[in-house]
C-alpha cells in the first residue's frame, strides 16, 4: 500500500460546481497535512494546511481531515477554469528527527467552462 494515495483523475467538473479531491494515507500517526497545486509545466505551490479533525476554510477552498478514517479532502467551491491543475496531497510523517514528508501522485482537475 502506498503511503499516500490519490486518484490520478482527471476529475472533470463544470464551471461553478464544487470539486472534491480526496487523499488517503497509511501512517496512522501522521499529524500534519498540506495541499499543493501544480499547474502544467510549473512547480508545486502551497494552498493550505490542516492539522486537526474537521474542516478548515480559506476562501473558496475547504480542507477536511478525518484521522480515524485516514483521509484528507480538498473542496473547491465555485470552480473556475483557472483552478484546472494537478492537486498534490502532502503528509508529514512521524519518524525520526527529520519529519518525513510524503507527496501523493496528485489528482488532475479539469474545470470545463
Taking the complex as a whole, the smallest distance from the CB of residue 15 to other proteins amounts, in Å, to 27
What three-state secondary structure class fits 81? helix
Site string (23-62) toward other proteins, x via CB under 8 A: ---------xxx-------xxxxx--x-------------
For residue 108, what are the contacts with CB-CB under 8 A and spacing of at least 6?
A: 8, 9, 10, 11, 85, 86
Subset of 85-104 contacting other proteins (CB under 8 A) = 88, 90, 92, 97-101, 103-104
How many residues appear in the chain? 113
In angstroms, the CA 83 to CA 96 distance is 36
Residues lying near other proteins in the complex (CB under 8 A): 8, 32-34, 42-46, 49, 88, 90, 92, 97-101, 103-106
Amino acid at each position: 500500500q502506498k503511503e499516500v494515495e490519490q486518484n490520478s483523475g482527471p476529475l472533470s467538473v463544470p464551471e461553478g460546481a464544487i470539486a472534491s479531491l480526496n487523499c488517503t494515507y497509511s501512517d496512522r500517526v501522521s499529524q500534519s497535512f498540506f495541499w499543493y497545486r501544480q499547474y502544467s509545466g510549473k512547480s508545486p505551490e502551497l494552498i493550505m494546511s490542516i492539522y486537526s479533525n474537521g474542516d478548515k476554510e480559506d476562501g473558496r477552498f475547504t480542507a477536511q481531515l478525518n484521522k480515524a478514517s485516514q483521509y484528507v479532502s480538498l473542496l473547491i467551491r465555485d470552480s473556475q477554469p483557472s483552478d484546472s491543475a494537478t492537486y498534490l496531497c502532502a503528509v508529514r510523517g512521524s519518524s525520526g528527527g527529520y519529519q518525513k514528508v510524503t507527496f501523493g501522485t496528485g489528482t488532475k482537475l479539469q474545470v470545463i467552462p
